[in-house]
Amino acid sequence: MTGNDMLATLGLRTNDPDSAKFTSAARIDALNIAQRTVVNLVNTAYLTDLQAIDGGKVMSGNVVAFSDLDNAPIRNGIIAIYDATNSKWCIMIDPADQKRLENTYLAGSITNPIAFVFREEIHTQGPGATDTLNVWYLKEPTALAADAVECELNIALQEPVIDFAESQLWKMAGRLDQATAASGNATAQIQALNARYENEKPVGIGV
């Protein structure tokens, strides 16, 4: 759906097709809040439309900041790091595992580079301090507007976005029963999608 389509649908859901109760600006704000909510709740398998690759990011002291990327990452969503200088994929670890890197056999190296995310920065061990990285990540969705631009999210996520937006507007109007019902509809759809993925997700290598 386009931004205009979602606005029109939201107007019908709130019995306000002429924007007498809720302005277009209020609806857009509600839709964008709802979009961020859905993105934060749904399994990342449904967010492939938000996947991005930024190539040629030069490190400073073995670090690339999120602010250096072309888009703002969401959910700390760094998918993979490629050391373009040495043509090696980095092994992604949890920051809490850094102590293990003191073991010589586990430490990062040019042939076995390590990467982790901490405080909105990508840190590496093994590559040179100013080597170049290619960063694979989940970016923020493009903000919705009153226009003919298609919503960037998977079509299966657009109904929950509208439901959450409807809930936001009913809260603004003090209609808590309607707000709870709309939010419940959105939550149920997301739970169903997440459960479906768990049942159908691919099996890993060697499993």
Concatenate the DSSP letters of all residues of 61-116 into one string.
Answer: SSEEEGGGSSS-EEEEEEEEEEETTTTEEPEE--GGGGGGGGSTTTS--SSS-EEE
Residue 78, strand partner residues? 137
Query: What pLDDT digit, counting tens, does each position of 138-182 carry?
Result: 999 999 999 999 999 999 999 999 999 999 999 999 999 999 999
pLDDT class of 108 with cuts at 50, 70, 90: confident
Query: What pLDDT digit, counting tens, does each position of 31-90 carry?
Result: 999 999 999 999 999 999 999 999 999 999 999 999 999 999 998 889 999 999 999 999
Q: Tell me which amino acid residue 119 is.
A: R
pLDDT exceeds cutoff 70 at 203: no
pLDDT exceeds cutoff 80 at 124: yes
pTM of the model: 0.84
The residue written with tokens 């373009």 in the block is: 84
- Rounded Cα distance between 177 and 166, Å, is 12
